[in-house]
Structure 1
Amino acid sequence: MPNRGVPNRGMPSRGTPDHTRAEDPRGRGAARSPGPPVPARSTGDEPDRAAPSRVETMVEMLDAQGVEVATMRAAVRSEDNRERILAAARSEFAQQGFRGATLRAIAGEVGVDVALIAHYFGNKLGLYTEAMTMPDRAHRVVAAALTAPAEQTGEVLARGYLSLWEDPETGEAMCAITHSSLTDPAALENMNEVMVGRMREGEFLALAEGRQRGLALAMTGLLGAAIARHIVKAPSLTCLDFEDFVRRSAVAAQAPLDIPDQDG
């Protein structure tokens, strides 16, 4: 028995054109329009949502054409490879020394061809020199300490230098450079050239005038404290929080700085 008053929402009756399929508000069985979709009218509440979609569309178009975006992505990949090579090199040089480390081992650790290392750094010495160079911040730390009030020099120097070891961005390099210097004469010579060479520049000579010996002794003490905490991992130092470590190290660093250099 047919349901009276209830429209037939199933198949249309035979011989009757189906005029309702494209007009079904719920989209059931609606035929797709061959034309482009009509964008929804903006209410003005979501301006930030529209901009990213346009940028994404532009990036996709440029990417398909190989214009600039490909160059940018290649540069990002290149820099990433370069940094990974440097990180692997620091670890390899620290463990094996300059003579024991091999480019093949470093390339294998990163998963790249040895030729890529040669492309970036030239040769083993070039890679070693760049990987084992002190962070630029190290020199700025010393300069900042020497421009601080005399009674605060030890604290500023201790905080700045020891933070290089605590910071994840520079700590690995500091450990690798120091560890390698302790076991490899070539690495020690390289570190001396970098550190001592910079200290002999005009800027540092002027700032450290009358305090060069005190600065050398202060840095020696801080280096020893950093080695004990981060390489030897002495329990009595690793248990200290950073502020306590700085406070105690600053006292030792300030003492030689308070004694002026004397000729002869």
Structure 2
Amino acid sequence: MSDPLLRVDDLVVTFTPRGLFRRGEGVQAVRGVSLSVEAGTTVGIVGQSGSGKSTVARTIVGLERPTSGRIVLGGRTVDQSAESLAELRRSVQMVFQDSLSSLNPRRTIGAILAEPLVVHGIVPRARIADRVSELLEDVGLPASHARRRPMQLSGGQRQRVNIARALASSPQLIIADEPTSALDVSIRAQILELLKRLQAEHGLAYLFISHDLHVVRYMSDTVVVMRHGEIVEVADKTSIYRAPQHEYTKELLAAAPTTDTALAKARARRADRPVGSAS
């Protein structure tokens, strides 16, 4: 059996207070988390605010340092060397919750999408403008949006730009941290459908993070439930919905009773729209 694309072994992340008046030994945000993601599949992490799910994501992409544990990508342990981090930043990309703050408001969409192409040497400079247009079209936006700035786009359009930027480096894994929670339900459904299409077309693996177990179930093959920095339940998406074992999982299901219906209605409305329409 081949190794998974991503493996996280016994990850611990502790935030230590800084400054002259620091007290105590710090806060353990993640406690012994282990998970794996196979190529081309989606693992969902669900939990309420403070559960540690976003800290796991940020640690995997190198935005936080692990206190202990191991992250293995493509069979190679990720460390803090320049070579290892460079490979990590090309192979793993992240889509954040806030579509506006994650885009530089002073730059055009074209410049934002061109940056990873230049940094990673993805295409020759003469091909950058063409590749930017291809990326925009891949996420359902017209090439003319390359001349716009983030504030000129809707929230859903900005999130499409963020997804296009994540695609620019041809990653193996995209970590989506609450990518639809700031959007209304109809736009949320469009973005989820877009992510599914891109996964099928590009063979992507996803680590999909949300507080909504219904959305995670819709997107994922395997669901990981976190609470207080620990994993309390792991199961395939059918089992976790039909027969949750942990009381906390049952609480999460009860907390979002209408999401499935709302998403289904939104997808039905989208099916009636002209092809290529995007919000």
TM-score range, shorter chain: under 0.3
Superposition TM-score, scaled by structure 2 size: 0.21
Q: 1 or 2 for the larger relative contact order (CA 8 Å, sep ≥6)?
A: 2
Q: Higher helix proportion, which one?
A: 1
In our comparison, the structure showing a higher alpha carbon Rg is 1
